[in-house]
Amino acid sequence: MSVFLAFSLHASVDMTRVNAELFIHQPLTDLAVITENNAALKEQWVRSLFDRDILNHEGTKAFSPTAQFSTYYADFQNRFRLIDLNHDGTPELVFEGFVSKDDEKEHVEIFLSVNNELTRIYDEIGHILAYKIHPNTKEVLLYHHQYPCCLNASHNLNRLRLVEGKMQAVKRYFLGREAGDMKGVFFPKKSNFPTKLRVTKKKVELRWSGSVIAKNAWIRRVPSNVIAPYKKGSLYKVLAEENGWLFVRMQTAPEIGENKVVNPSNLQETAVYGWLEKRKL
């Protein structure tokens, strides 16, 4: 077991892996399928980043001015891969993993080649949960999962697309912890993905689990498992139904107001997964 994996098992992160099939329609998860097998180009590009002092990884010049590329690459080469995200014939360089043995969270970095020089266009914490191939353009769409640490429960699931040299994100969000201080079952056993959007006929409350919890729902945080209220006329998709509750993806933004679970102002352009009580719709 590598020092990076050993440390990650003891880090203060929470729920770093979820079932992609609960959130994404027909996700693909084997990145090896879309990885280009060009060891010489990958090493050349990583070396150029190393020599230009672009990388902030253990074993690079950011950690020691006497760092040697051969030593760094021996440890990190498997965390880099070549993927042609925009299907233009030139791959992008994608890094995924821990940047040091002291890091609690993985990182995703994407580098674009412009005039034979690499530029970092994306750098965020988390990992690549899945991908899809656009049926018309054959572009690769990456699903980037940003998981929480410490006492947080916020998960961001962003669909990334490379457009005109920049990564565009379709943002989604859900709550969940493995630590045991949040009550309820967060996700259904299985999801379906209809195309039909539904509309709320009244104001509703979106919850992180399929039941009404009014006491100690999140210990030392909030008594109730309500994520946020949504106004009448909000759009949503039903992904599953269990025990009188609907697991949904809310497409309309939540109402802005006092909230100790989420900051609604940060979710105005973000779809949110959660549960609605069917009989109250």
Residues 170 and 207 in one domain: no
pLDDT at 10: 42
| Overall number of domains in the chain | 2
Per-residue tens of pLDDT for the chain, all 281 residues: 343 443 344 448 999 999 999 999 999 999 999 999 999 999 999 999 999 999 999 999 999 999 999 999 999 999 999 999 999 999 999 999 999 999 999 999 999 999 989 999 999 999 999 999 999 999 999 999 999 998 899 999 999 999 999 999 999 999 999 999 999 999 999 999 999 999 999 999 999 999 999 999 999 999 999 999 999 999 999 999 999 999 999 999 999 999 999 999 999 999 999 999 999 99
Residues 7 and 100 in one domain: yes
Q: Residue 247 sits in which domain range?
A: 198-280
Residues 152 and 274 in one domain: no
Whether 185 is in a domain gets the answer: no
Cα separation, 274 vs 261, whole angstroms: 13
Whether 191 is in a domain gets the answer: no
Backbone angles phi, psi at 70, to 5 degrees: -60, -40
Whether 188 is in a domain gets the answer: no
Residues 13 and 148 in one domain: yes
Whether 192 is in a domain gets the answer: no
Q: Which residue, among 152, 144, 215, 149, has the nearest Cα to 184 in the 3D structure? A: 215
Residues 164 and 205 in one domain: no
* Pair of tokens at residue 183: 């009550």
Residues 66 and 161 in one domain: yes
Q: Which residue, among 156, 192, 31, has the nearest Cα to 97 in the 3D structure? A: 31
Residues 38 and 168 in one domain: yes
Residues 171 and 202 in one domain: no
Q: Which residue, among 121, 122, 119, 78, has the nearest Cα to 98 in the 3D structure? A: 78
Residues 151 and 27 in one domain: yes
Residues 206 and 163 in one domain: no
pLDDT at 176: 98
Q: What is the pTM of this model?
A: 0.93
Residues 204 and 166 in one domain: no
Residues 203 and 169 in one domain: no
Where a domain ends, among 134, 160, 175? Answer: 175
Dihedral angle at the C-alpha atoms of 163, 97, 115, 44, nearest 10 degrees? -150
CA 262 to chain centre: 17
End-to-end Cα separation, the chain, in angstroms:
50
